[in-house]
Amino acid sequence: MLETIWFLLWGVLWAVYFVLDGFDLGAGTLMPFLAKDEFDKRSVYNAGGPFWDGNEVWLLSAGGVTFAAFPLAYATMFSGLYSALMLLLFALIVRGVSFEFRGKVESQTWRSVWDGCHSVCSFLPALLLGVAFANLFHGLPLDEQHVNQWGLIDLLNPYGLLGGVFFVCMFALHGALWLAIRTTGGLRDRAAAAAGKLWLAVLVLVLAFLAYTWGHTQLFGNYLKNPHLFLILIAAVAGLLASRYFLAGRSYWKAWAGSAAFIACVALFGVVGLYPAILISTLNPAWSLTVSNASSTPLTLKIMLGVALVFVPLVIIYQAWAIKTFSHPIEHEGDLEY
């Protein structure tokens, strides 16, 4: 029971992380295409600037919960996907620093270098997370000691790459909608237009990804056995459609909310499909890591649950406060803090 609760919380943490960091990773990825001048570029930095580290806290929580609630899965995941994770880590470090360092020197060279870092290192995490999760949905060749036999190159198989491209576009759409909320003038119009195009790409990609998932993984098993779980997919579709509808009506906050619901439900769809496995072994199902064989002791899970019930609401409260404080549109020089 406790393990199942923690499994779901684990899924929720990933879902919330994607919804939050998705928009600043997406905005950063789009910067070279949407920002035409210095003010535009600074607007993009300022759109994500106040939020990026608070958003990444959810990544740390997801990783931390993997460690504390499912330590064996943590060991296999973080050591087994070592190279990919190191790359992800470096990209996130450089991106974070780019927010803080870029504006501090007046030199054009300094700023261009950090701009390059910012966009590449916003694109990479989206790609790597998509590749990683696609591979998790399909399963990895884990041996009897749960050691992953695949390297970085093996992760870039067709299904993995599709997951990667899907995540990139999904986050880019989310980021474009965020830019439409927070920026003004030409940049806002370009962001909204990009969102329209990206929406089509996301529609095609999600259908392709679902089809490939149907054929290539066991994820639909849980859904066929418990058809009421299809509500998650329906909610995802509803979110995506709502997002397009509100985009057309220029209600950007609502469009963003639709995109958020879409991202969250896609993540949850995958996690619920995985249950009870966390890391599937493609070599032998007996070697998979599940909520039963990979979890911590009941005492640990109980204490963690108590702590989570207190602190997660606090985090949500202060994060909502931060979003509210910095949600005003960026109109002129005076609005720029970064």
Partner 1 sequence: MHVVSASFCVASFFIAGISAWHLLRKNHEEFFQKSFNLAVGVGLLASLVVVGQGHLHGNLVAKVQPAKLAAMESHWETMKNAPMYLLQIPDAKNEKNLVQALPVPSLLSFLAFNDPDAEVKGLKDFKPEDRPPVGITFIAFRVMVGIGTLMPLLMLFGFLKRREIATYPLYLKAMLLAMPLPYLGMQAGWAVAEVGRQPWIVHGLMRTADAASPLAVSQVGTSLLAMTLLYTLLGAAGAYLMVDTAKKGPKA
Q: How far is the CB of 270 from partner 1 (least distance, A)?
A: 25
Binding mask 70-109 for partner 1 (x = CB under 8 A): -----x---x--xx--x---x--xx--x---x--xx----
Structural tokens at position 129: 């997370």
Which residue lies nearer to partner 1 by CB, 132 or 172? Answer: 132
Closest by Cα among 152, 161, 170 to 134? 161
Task: Provide DSSP, 182-234.
Answer: HB-HHHHHHHHHHHHHHHHHHHHHHHHHHHHHHHH-STTHHHHHSGGGGHHHH
Closest CA to 280 of 133, 175, 160: 133
The CB-of-197 to partner 1 minimum distance in angstroms stands at 34
| Cβ nearer to partner 1, comparing 142 with 176 | 142
CB neighbour class for 334 (10 Å; exposed up to 12, middle 13-18, buried from 19):
exposed
Q: Which is nearer to partner 1, 37 or 154 (CB)?
A: 154
Shortest distance, position 101 Cβ to partner 1, whole Å: 6
- Using CB under 8 A as the binding rule, whether residue 120 contacts partner 1 is answered as no
Cβ distance to partner 1 smaller for residue 97 or 238: 97
Applying the rule CB under 8 A, the residues between 129 and 148 that interact with partner 1 are: 145, 147
Residues 6+ positions from 19 with CB-CB distance below 8 Å: 174, 260, 263, 264
Beta bridge partners of 290: 277
Under the rule (CB under 8 A), what is the footprint of partner 1?
A: 75, 79, 82-83, 86, 90, 93-94, 97, 101, 104-105, 145, 147
